[in-house]
Amino acid sequence: MASTGRIVPRMSKSKLREKRGQIVCEAWRILRGDKVYITTGKDKGLTGTVTKVIRDIYNPRVIVEGRNMVWKHVKMEGSKDGGKVRIPAPIQYSNVMLVDPTSGGPVRVKSGFTADGTKVRVSVGKHATGSIIPRPEILKERAKPRNPASIKDTAPEHVSKVTYNPETMVEDFKAFAAKVLGGQSYPKLKYPPLELENLPTASRTGQDQGLLPIAASEALRLRPKAKVAGKREWP
């Protein structure tokens, strides 16, 4: 087969893993605000604070404040001047480790539970002291601000209103059932309901009218007949 001369772009490792379904990370033990130790790269041996965790199961990364700095060309927008700025680039999730709060060394973590049942992170590894790594306080603040209140939001008094009462639920259901079963199956309408329209019964031809409720049969009788073009109506 002759070559067309077309250059096929090479697929990145993350896209290749996504295509094959190879999940790299599922347990996110490093959180925003944690102090981490960089194990490889140009900033190897340095520590920093995580400002963002990119939770991509095929290509997980973290952004560390002041680490892995790169130049970026910024376009001029309005009153902002363009130019070259230094920003932190993402680092692979596997290239950073949490820092033990007691020893200050890089450690791995495992999940544990306190006496009251709270799930915590416990340090394990060579430099670990077995101490609990607390959740960062910054997680109590939202990374993105909430949307401003609008007229479409539900009022707080309606949200806090109690609409479920198990004590009166049985009585309410009995009253509802008595009201439904005590009356006719269908109200007296000009046209029958949709569920009766689609029934493949002989009632459409005028036979076996007893299959339908009285109200629906009356509505079928009063419904005007459709006029067919070219068809003569005999007296």
Q: Where are the domains of the chain?
A: 108-135
Q: Is the pTM of this model over 0.85?
A: no
Report how far residue 51's alpha carbon sits from residue 45's, in angstroms, rounded to the nearest whole number: 18
Count how many residues are written for the chain. Answer: 235
Three-state secondary structure call for residue 129: coil
Q: Which residues contact 68 (CB under 8 A, 6 or more apart)?
A: 38, 41, 42, 43, 88, 89, 90, 91
Whole-angstrom Cα Rg for the chain: 35
Q: Could you list the pLDDT tens digit for every one of the 235 residues in the chain?
A: 555 666 657 778 778 887 777 788 888 999 999 999 999 999 999 999 999 999 988 889 999 999 999 999 988 888 888 888 999 999 999 999 999 999 889 999 999 999 898 999 999 988 888 899 999 998 888 878 888 888 888 888 888 887 777 777 777 777 777 766 665 454 555 555 555 555 554 444 444 444 445 555 555 566 656 555 555 555 4
